[in-house]
Amino acid sequence: MGMSEDAISAVGALGDPTRRRAYDLVVAAGRAVSRDEVAQGLGVGRTLAAFHLDKLVEAGLLEVGYGRLGARPPGPGAGRPAKLYRRSESQVAVILPPRSYVEVGALLAEAVERSGADLTLQGVARERGRAASGADMWEVLREWGYEPFTRDGDICLRNCPFHALAQEFPPLICGMSLALVTGLAEGAGWPVRARMRPEKGHCCVILERDKR
Amino acid sequence: MNTVRMNLAQLNIARLRFALDGPELKDFVDGLPEINALGDSSPGFIWRLIDEGGADATALRPFEDRDDILINMSVWESLESLRDFIYHTKHLEYMRRRREWFDHCGLEAYVVLWWVPEGHIPTVAEGKERLEHLMKHGPTPGAFTMRNPYPA
């Protein structure tokens, strides 16, 4: 499970600051975006935006699809689907010197699952969350990799930082994640309540704002 | 060529940590009607085990000498439909709390999956056999787990 050339190339592709911003823009959109949108967001020309986007696709960080954005009035040009970009499902990890935390995580998760120690794991996650929190909720959630955004007044989490393990051990790992976020919220007194609301393609945890 | 369509059967057993009618199990028992209704209306749901005269399987004890072991069994169109229900609906919140209510002390395996021909409703005895097979031999095409599935 060493580092692959692909992983190194993928990280290398983000070395260019404009390309990095292009990647961040696509990720933050949380949906497929067009070249024009990225060009506009970056303040660069369409050709340059397309160049960087295609480099990111080549590196496996973005996926390309074809579709129409929103409702367009019928007329010339309406029939041609646009090239759209979204974050790819693949996961890139480069750790130097080589370390295998994902594999260790899988072994530990299986051991916890077999011994039925879910509640111990939830307790540890909550304590860690409390101890590691900070006043700036958005910043803390971003640092943990949750990619928070607002929807219908709630704070949803676009990314599951534990995705690979959560796929394999959903009740265990999603339960841990909920306990961690609960701890983070308690630790700094954020005016929210963490809840489980599973949704495909997102983290299963959301933060409901306290109704006062 | 396999021309008979196959469906996925699942059995799972759990040992009660407390009395079913006690305060510790209240949230579990209170949630049953909603969670069962959610499962029944989920895409791909075919059948679930219900005890005589009841609305669920909590009155059944699959092992005669163990009055603390509950069972549930169901049949689904596919592994994906079962997965979608248990992991991508409110059922996950219920599952997250499983160890507040249940453990699997003394049980080597507690969930087993196997394929059945379309239209076949498995019996408890059949499910127990599959579970024993899984305990003895590990995951095989005739008795497997969510994490080590086999194609139909």
Q: pLDDT (tens digit, 9 = 90+) per residue, B132-141? A: 999 999 999 9
Lowest-pLDDT range, A164-178, A191-205, B127-141?
A: A191-205
Q: Which residue of B has its CA nearest to A112?
A: B99
Output the pLDDT for position A73: 54
Supply the range of the domain harboring residue A69: 5-87
Q: How many CA atoms are closer than 13 Å to the CA of B56, on its beta-carbon side?
A: 17
Residue B151 forms part of a structural domain: no
| Residues A59 and A130 occupy one common structural domain | no
Whether the pLDDT of residue A209 is over 80: the answer is yes
Q: For residue B97, what pLDDT is reported?
A: 96
- Lowest-pLDDT range, A64-78, A91-105, B18-32? A64-78
pLDDT of res. A212? 58
Ranges A33-47, A124-138, A140-154, B100-114: which has the least confidence: B100-114
User: How many residues does this entry show for chain A?
Assistant: 212
The ipTM is 0.91
Same domain? For A48 and A116 the reply is no
Q: Over the stretch A49-94, which tens digit does the pLDDT of each residue have?
A: 999 999 999 999 999 998 876 555 555 555 678 899 999 988 888 8
Tell me if B18 is assigned to some domain.
yes
**A112 shares a domain with A201:** yes
The pLDDT of residue A1 is: 40
As given in the structure block, the two tokens for residue B147 are: 């994490």
Instruction: Say how many CA atoms lie within 13 Å of A182 toward its Cβ.
Output: 16
pLDDT band at A137 (very low <50, low <70, confident <90, very high): very high
Q: Is residue B26 part of a domain?
A: yes
What confidence score (pLDDT) does residue A72 get?
A: 54
Residue at which a domain ends, from A65, A87, A109: A87
Write the DSSP string, A135-187: S-HHHHHHHTT--EEEETTEEEES--TTHHHHHHSHHHHHHHHHHHHHHHHHH
Average pLDDT, chain A: 90
B97 interaction partners in chain A (CB closer than 8 Å): 175
A115 contacts on B by Cβ (under 8 Å): none
What's the pLDDT score for residue A48?
A: 95
What average pLDDT does this structure show over A26-54? 94
Q: Considering CB atoms only, which of B87, B103, B105 is closest to A198? A: B87
CA distances in angstroms from A75 to A70, A80, B76, listed in the order given: 15, 11, 46
The answer to whether residue B77 sits within a structural domain is yes
| Whole-number pLDDT of residue A2 | 46
Give the domain extent around B128: 6-137
**Tokens (6 digits) for B53:** 């005269």
The CA distance from A126 to A122, in Å, is 6
In one-letter notation, the amino acid at residue B105 is C
Number of domains in chain B: 1
pLDDT tens-digit series, residues A2-16 = 457 888 889 999 999
> Which residues of chain A neighbour B92 with C-beta distances below 8 Å?
170-171, 174, 196, 198, 204
Q: What's the gap in Å between the CA of B88 and the closest CA on chain A?
A: 5
Predicted pLDDT of residue A69: 62
User: What pLDDT was estimated at residue A75?
Assistant: 57
The answer on A59 and A154 residing in a single domain is no
Is A163 contained in some domain? yes
Rounded CA gap, A66 and A56, in Å?
16
Tell whether A96 is covered by a domain.
Answer: no
Q: Which residues contact A71 (CB under 8 A, 6 or more apart)?
A: none
Looking at residue B2, what is its pLDDT?
58
Mean pLDDT of A118-127: 98
pLDDT grade, residue A191 (50/70/90)? very high
Domain count within chain A: 2
CA distance A175 to chain B (A): 5
Say which CATH number the domain at B114 has. 3.30.70.100
What is the C-alpha to C-alpha distance for residues A36 and A55, in angstroms, rounded to an integer? 16
* Percent residues over pLDDT 70 in chain B: 97
Q: What is the pTM of this model?
A: 0.87
- Assigned domain for A184 exists: yes
Does B113 fall in a domain?
A: yes
**Test the B interface: residue of A173, A174, A176, A205 with most B CBs within 10 Å:** A174
Residue A147: what pLDDT? 93
Q: Give the tens place of pLDDT for each residue, A106-116.
A: 999 999 998 99
Buried b (16+ CB within 10 A) or exposed e, B98-126: bbbbbbbeebebbbbbbbbeeeeebeeeb
Q: Write the CATH number for A51.
A: 1.10.10.10
Distance CA B142, CA B131 (A): 10
